[in-house]
């Protein structure tokens, strides 16, 4: 059956790329994919490059995302960036709860849920990341871990906000390791996540929410992953740092 959810493919540049490197990357990418309309394409540069990249993607098919934001609106929060500040650069998406932030900044589901609400208040769509570690997978608790991350990180969202939220299933053991979940392994968890969304918001909402897969997505495995019934796009790390690789992921997914 044809999926009626539009694919969304986002590149997470992480702590890579100076401003001039970011400009090279976005220009290269625009050359390859500026005609693509079938996929929602998003790039998430570091904060320092948002302004310049924003100028380049304005009036193109590529949308801008940030890699994190504060749950607070304004005030004495040294080093933080608020949603309204991101909006100045026409940021439409924000990655929240990436496993690197859960691990190194000790972000909790509760904090991520506050950030997701703050993003919605500013009309920025959150891309909320969940995923199990290798140890958790091997001890058979993947669904328990992912189910509890979904419930905790999306707590308090209305059904309308849920529709405007993207979930990224990223098994921690597949991020930056070159190990991809097989398309069957990924599909199994995506289907499980849709079931949890259905328990929370009903079948109709669950059917419409887009769930990305992330973890060593490359031009060679994108098509098979995207052809799974519950996989609606990709969150791409390493391969998004190269215009040719990222554009091939997009083009191979159509
Ligand atoms: C990520 O960090 O979100 C990610 C999926 O990284 P990579 O594609 O490099 O595995």
Residue 64 lies in a domain: yes
Write out the two tokens for 23: 């400009």
User: Is the C-alpha dihedral spanning 215, 219, 221, 223 positive or negative?
Assistant: positive
Query: Would you state the torsion angle of the CA atoms of residues 108, 111, 116, 120, taken in this order, to the nearest 10 degrees?
Result: 180
In this predicted model, what pLDDT tens digit does every residue of 76-114 receive, in sequence order? 999 999 999 999 999 999 999 999 999 999 999 999 999
- At 2, the pLDDT band (50, 70, 90 cuts) reads low
In the reported structure, the alpha carbon of residue 111 is separated from the centroid of ligand 1 by a whole-number distance in angstroms of 22
Task: Check if 170 is active-site.
Answer: yes
Residue 2 lies in a domain: no
What CATH number should be reported for the domain holding residue 171?
3.20.20.70
Query: Considering its fold, how many domains does the chain have in total?
Result: 1
Q: How far is CA 77 from CA 2, 71, 72, in A?
A: 46, 10, 8
Residue 175 lies in a domain: yes
Ligand 1 and 179: CB distance under 6 A: no
- At 134, the pLDDT band (50, 70, 90 cuts) reads very high
pLDDT at residue number 180: 85
Residue 160 lies in a domain: yes
pLDDT at residue number 220: 97
In this predicted model, what pLDDT tens digit does every residue of 193-219 receive, in sequence order? 999 999 999 999 999 999 999 999 999
Tell me how far apart the alpha carbons of residues 187 and 213 are, in angstroms, rounded to a whole number: 9
pTM comes to 0.97
- The ligand 1 atom at the shortest distance from the C-alpha of residue 216 is 10
Residue 3 lies in a domain: no
- The ligand 1 atom at the shortest distance from the C-alpha of residue 12 is 3
> What residue numbers bound the domain in which 235 lies?
8-253
């Amino acid at each position: 059956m044809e999926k009626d959810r539009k694919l969304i493919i986002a590149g997470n540049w992480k702590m890579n790329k100076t401003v001039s490197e970011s400009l090279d990357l976005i220009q290269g990418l625009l050359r390859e994919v500026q005609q693509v309309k079938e996929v929602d394409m998003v790039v998430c540069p570091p904060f320092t490059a948002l302004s310049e990249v924003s100028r380049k993607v304005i009036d193109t098919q590529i949308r801008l995302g940030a890699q994190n934001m504060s749950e607070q609106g304004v005030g004495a929060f040294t080093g933080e960036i608020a949603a309204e500040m991101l909006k100045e650069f026409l940021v439409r998406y924000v990655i929240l709860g990436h496993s690197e932030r859960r691990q190194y900044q000790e972000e909790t589901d509760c904090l991520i849920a506050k950030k997701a609400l703050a993003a919605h208040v500013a009309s920025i769509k959150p891309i909320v990341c969940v995923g199990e570690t290798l140890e958790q997978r091997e001890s058979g608790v993947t669904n328990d871990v992912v189910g509890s991350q979904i419930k905790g990180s999306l707590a308090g969202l209305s059904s309308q906000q849920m529709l405007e939220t993207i979930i990224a299933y990223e098994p921690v053991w597949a991020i930056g390791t070159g190990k991809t979940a097989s398309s069957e392994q990924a599909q199994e968890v995506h289907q499980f996540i849709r079931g949890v969304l259905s328990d929370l918001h009903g079948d109709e909402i669950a059917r419409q929410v887009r769930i990305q897969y992330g973890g060593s997505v490359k031009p060679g495995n994108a098509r098979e992953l995207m052809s799974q019934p519950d996989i609606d796009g990709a969150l791409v790390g390493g391969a998004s740092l190269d215009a040719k690789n990222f554009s091939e992921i997009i083009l191979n997914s159509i």
